[in-house]
A and B are shown apart, each in its own frame.
Chain A
Amino acid sequence: MKDHKIVFTGTPGAGKTTAIAALSDVPPVTTDVRNSDPGLAKEHTTVGLDFGQVDLGDGQMVRLFGTPGQMRFEFMWRILAKDALGLVVLIDNSRPDPLADLTTYLDAYKDVLPSMNAVIGVGRTLECPLPTLDDFTDLLNARNLVLPVLAVDVRQRDDVLMLVDVVLAQAETRTRACSHQMSTVLIWCEQALETNLASTIAQTSLATSSSWPTR
């Protein structure tokens, strides 16, 4: 059984807790408390983490971790991202500036994103079609990042599963590319070794023959 860790992060109210609850096979662990921030229109908010797990049925178990969304919990973002296979960034398109929201998370994870499997899930795109998915892609491209951007409804299990599948597919592609590179390096090493060995043997033979005592 392969065991993966995928982290859901993103803006408050984007649906990280909902997404994990929608996909998890077990009742999720939640750390929601009553929200006292009048600027955030929701009754409860996550302050620690969410945790769930899903058996994908093909020998792969995925542990799902959700971060708190607010910037003051940024320390949890980094703690939870440690040793993660991938990152799902959820953006709520009904917020005032979804592109700035994405920028916040790209900045926060800038050290790990170039080497991490990641996908951007944009919610509430039907009610709020702007910015478009292309606008998000342009923002990523401007930062030299090539990441999939998908419209999602995190209440739908299939949509959340799609995000997880995208991360797993990226991971598989990276592994294949890495193993292809490793094969190439191994072949090169073998060739170099053979050449070097032949050359070393030739040199040793010469040295040995020349150092043999002559009668």
Chain B
Amino acid sequence: MADVDGARAALVATPDGFDLARAGEQTVDAGRLAAMVSSLSALGDAASRETQIGQPRCLVIDSSDGRLVVRSMQFRGEPLIVVLLTDTAALLGMVLNALNAADRQLSNA
């Protein structure tokens, strides 16, 4: 989060919708957000399968007052979902770069 200007909160969730860790703003209901990104991620998987475009890496919800970037990762063979909530000042490229770096760190841990 520290590497991204405009990052408001980060969340790590299981694919079946439980929150494992959170950082940043506490105004977000982590349990509820974990369930929602689990659904979004699974829908992304289904849409990718249906359109035969391979394994989805990232979902971006680009809204008027900010972005929600959802990224699938692996930690010791276990799938995880990492979410970054940002305001509009955050550059999408920086967010994706930070999430890629986090993915590499988790994969090598």
Contact surface of A with B, Cβ cutoff 8 Å: 29-37, 45, 47-49, 68, 70, 72-73, 75-76
Set of chain B residues within 8 Å of A49, measured between Cβ atoms? 39, 43
Which residues on the B side are within 8 Å of A36 (C-beta)?
Answer: 14-16, 18
Which of A34, A45, A48 gathers the greatest number of chain B CB atoms within 10 Å?
A: A48
Please give the residue numbers on chain B whose beta carbons come within 8 Å of chain A beta carbons, in ascending order: 14-18, 31-32, 34-36, 38-40, 42-43, 45-46, 50, 79
**Given known contacts A72-B31, A75-B35, A75-B36, is B42 in contact with A31 (CB within 8 Å)?**
yes
Interface SS of B by simple majority = helix
Residues of B within 8 A of A68 (CB): 39
Minimum C-beta distance from A80 to chain B (A): 11
Q: Given A75-B35, A75-B36, check contact A48 B18 (CB 8 Å).
A: no
When distances are taken between beta carbons in the complex, the residues of chain A under 8 Å from B40 are 48
Counted as pairs of residues, one from A and one from B, with CB atoms less than 8 Å apart, the total is 56
Contact B50 A29 (CB under 8 A): yes
In the bound complex, how far is the Cα of B75 from the Cα of A192, in angstroms? 75
Given A37-B18, A48-B39, list of 20 further CB < 8 A pairs? A29-B50, A31-B46, A32-B42, A33-B15, A33-B16, A33-B38, A34-B15, A36-B14, A36-B16, A36-B18, A45-B16, A47-B15, A47-B17, A47-B38, A47-B42, A48-B43, A48-B46, A49-B39, A72-B17, A73-B17
> Which 5 residue pairs are nearest across A and B when measured between Cβ atoms?
A31-B42, A48-B42, A33-B15, A72-B35, A48-B39
Residue in A closest to B40 when the chains form the complex, CB atoms: A48
Complex interface: chain A residues within 8 A of B38 (CB): 33, 47-48
Indicate if the CB atoms of A72 and B15 lie closer than 8 Å: no
Indicate the member of A33, A35, A49, A73 with the most B CB atoms within 10 Å.
A33
Closest chain B residue to A40, Cβ basis: B16
Q: Which residues of B contact A70 (CB under 8 A)?
A: 17, 35
